[in-house]
A and B are shown apart, each in its own frame.
Chain A
């Protein structure tokens, strides 16, 4: 059972079970990439926990991770899952992991989904900061998060091992003021485009 909680453009965000495993994680298949971030306490303010309760979810036992399904609005097709948990146990910071339905998914659509979730996280969840770790070789995803307004903050050298080779791990972060500025610039750009076309 899923509850629709937000619609933006062609993207719909719904709650889903944390153990939803039907999506292949295309950033990489290395389970070690999934480590980190799990801490005590719920990500959501107490006032919103009931609204986001999902049957089968263990949030009531103090699990911090919360998962959302991203659906294509018209067809209802599931694009992927966004998982969000605390960073360093701070309730105002969310660490994201995105899992997509398949590697051939249109990156433009995924970018829309990420934008929708970022808006949801800052305006509905009231988070102050979002972050995401990405392997250095995930060029498409890196481009996508940079387009969404995330800034590269750290590059952990040779922190990831895959197929006999070490890779750097990048940490991207976005603060609420970054997002406000990013949105203002995008709106200004849209207004200018409309004025030129008029």
Chain B
């Protein structure tokens, strides 16, 4: 597989960085929370491009990859100015999960969502993630505190076809 380009029916993922450094990523609206800098920076980022008209849909990436535990964190930022159907977003996520589990041989992908985005839980569950809990009142937003939703996908539950084993 050419890891510079991941092709799907609806979207194509183009590698943004080749040296493990996020560098200057295009700015889109964050869907997932990017955790603060940890002791294992770096990652793999792809621009999500609509296959037919070439429009940039967003960025998807894997960062904080830990070779010992074979885990990484998923980042997904989308262009909210354009309305895409769920199939486009799901295909982009499935492509990067396949890359993570087959090319990078990772064991687990972590994902954090802000509680305001809880309507996205079902979407990520359809992509192979499982809900694992909610950390209460972690982020301060004015007078309110928002929680963090923890989700995770395991290689053992993922199949190449994109379906999830029981």
Contacts and interface: CB of A to CB of B under 8 A. Distances in A.
Contacts of B108: 157-159
Interface residues of B, number: 31
A93 B39 CA distance: 20
A128 B137 contact: yes
Contacts of B150: 154, 156, 171
Interface residues of A, number: 34
B154 interface: yes
A152 B36 CA distance: 22
A120 to B, nearest CB: 20
A88 B139 contact: yes
A155 interface: yes
A131 interface: yes
A159 B139 contact: no
Interface stretch (A1-9, A11-19, A35-43): A35-43
B144 to A, nearest CB: 12
B112 to A, nearest CB: 8
A161 B69 contact: yes
Contacts of B64: 35
Given A38-B36, A128-B145, A32 B68 contact: yes
A109 to B, nearest CB: 29
A36 B35 CA distance: 8
A32 B72 CA distance: 12
B38 interface: yes
Interface stretch (B54-62, B94-102, B119-127, B128-136): B128-136
B132 A156 contact: yes
A115 interface: no
A171 B135 contact: yes
Contacts of B83: none
A166 B68 CA distance: 11
Contact of A88 (B133, B136, B138): B138
Contacts of B134: 153-154
A88 B132 contact: no
Contacts of A40: 36-37
B33 interface: yes
9 contacts: A35-B40, A36-B35, A93-B137, A129-B138, A159-B71, A160-B69, A161-B68, A161-B107, A166-B69
Interface of A: 30, 32, 34-40, 86-93, 128-129, 131, 152-161, 166, 171, 173, 175
Interface of B: 33, 35-40, 64, 66, 68-71, 107-108, 110, 130, 132-140, 145, 148, 150, 152, 154
Given A32-B69, A156-B152, A161-B70, 7 more contacts: A88-B139, A128-B145, A129-B137, A157-B108, A159-B71, A173-B135, A175-B137
